[in-house]
Structure 1
């Protein structure tokens, strides 16, 4: 049945499933790729969020316990192997301290430089390890909108082809193709927006954790430097 404007009054289903099923194979591939990227993005978000929360909490407690101890060697024996970023920094410093002071001839300035180098390297290694999945979030955040836009352009081209084939420019002819095209863009934005937000948030948290670990490394370095001075 046609209304007074010549448009079909039949109801057009615009549910996500219907839009996907009616889409062109190219648009379907775009939708599937973006949906998989979105699922993996959320998996990374929950995983990294938990790791960062645990690393910050455990490192804070570890540092507090360390600064309360009077015996670094005893603390290192019991807590040196903890799987905590701060423990890795402590372990790097203690190992270098033992290597540098095991010889009879002690190079104090060289020891200080080596201690600083190995602990800073340990901090960088821990931050790199915890941020290894963030590149995927950055990629999705920057690429997904353009992939969705590609699906949109393809769907609109298909709509124009339908107009040419049927020689009919009514809304009933072009609406399904345009709806499918816009749905591809929506999926692209659904994948990109959380990825960008999470990437920026996690980058900020990693910067805070990195600064905290560097402060811990500097404090431990100062403690070991004072030990060197006592042996002067």
Structure 2
């Protein structure tokens, strides 16, 4: 009766299949490390958004809030903190240079906020492509290992006078293990990718919503100062 553990199947596999399994294990570990790190990053970004919006809408003086940005520490270089700081800094800089036209003040602030927003997009979407790559390629890499393993198993039958199922079963089992490891790597990667992409999209929508509201406030201030 044929009875072997998964470790035995890995040890008995051909070098090519073993290499495929090693690659898949590495891809799985990479996907999990990226997924956990990005989950923490997105969760922290959401908390910072809530904290900043609470402070922003409670503040009655934008200049005072801008001057107090240092209290956020390193967090003032990310998310809404960076978008607000970029827009307001440009707004104040142009006013100090004597620019009075409201449309010029608002459009310049909008451009700098768009640059800050695009930087946040790059940071939040960074490394998500790794999850997409693992999710899409791991099953095919595992299938490649299975094909090679099956070929190796059937080639071994040529040296066996009496070919039976028990003779070919170990080779097929070790070959199918490669596909199993590929699916084990791909399925969590796809789930994490879809989940994180959805969360990032929602977070970016909150950034855009705040930017529009902030531009409205700057536009009102620009019109008041131009009178």
Give the TM-score normalised by the residue count of structure 1. Answer: 0.91
**Does the 8 Å CA contact 1:80/1:91 hold for their aligned counterparts?**
no
Deviation of the 1:121 alpha carbon: 2.3
CA positional deviation for 1:80: 5.5
Distance of 1:193 and 1:131 partners within structure 2: 20
Any stretches of 5+ residues in structure 1 without a counterpart?
1-8
- Structure in which a larger fraction of residues adopt helix: 2
Residue 104 of structure 1: how far off its partner (Å): 2.0
Give distance in 1, aligned partners of 2:162 and 2:63: 84
Partner of 2:21: 31
2:72 paired with 1:72: no
CA displacement 1:45-102 (0-9 Å, x = unmatched): 1111111111101111211111110111111122257314110111111121122212
- Matches of residues 15-164 of structure 1 in structure 2 within 5 Å? 15-79=5-69, 82=72, 83=75, 84-164=78-158
2:71 and 2:132 mapped to 1: Cα distance?
33
Between 91-100 and 38-47, report the one with greater CA deviation: 91-100
Q: Structure 2: any 5+ residue segments left out of the alignment? A: none
Give 1:175's match in structure 2, choosing from 169, 180, 200.
169
Cα distance in 1, alignment partners of residues 162 and 153 from structure 2? 11
The normalised TM-score by structure 2 is 0.93
Structure 1 residue ranges, 4+ long, deviating more than 3 angstroms after superposition: none
What is the CA–CA distance in structure 2 between the aligned matches of 1:73 and 1:155, rounded to whole Å?
68
Say yes or no: does 1:230 pair with 2:220: no
Aligned length: 222
Q: Provide the aligned C-alpha RMSD in A.
A: 1.3
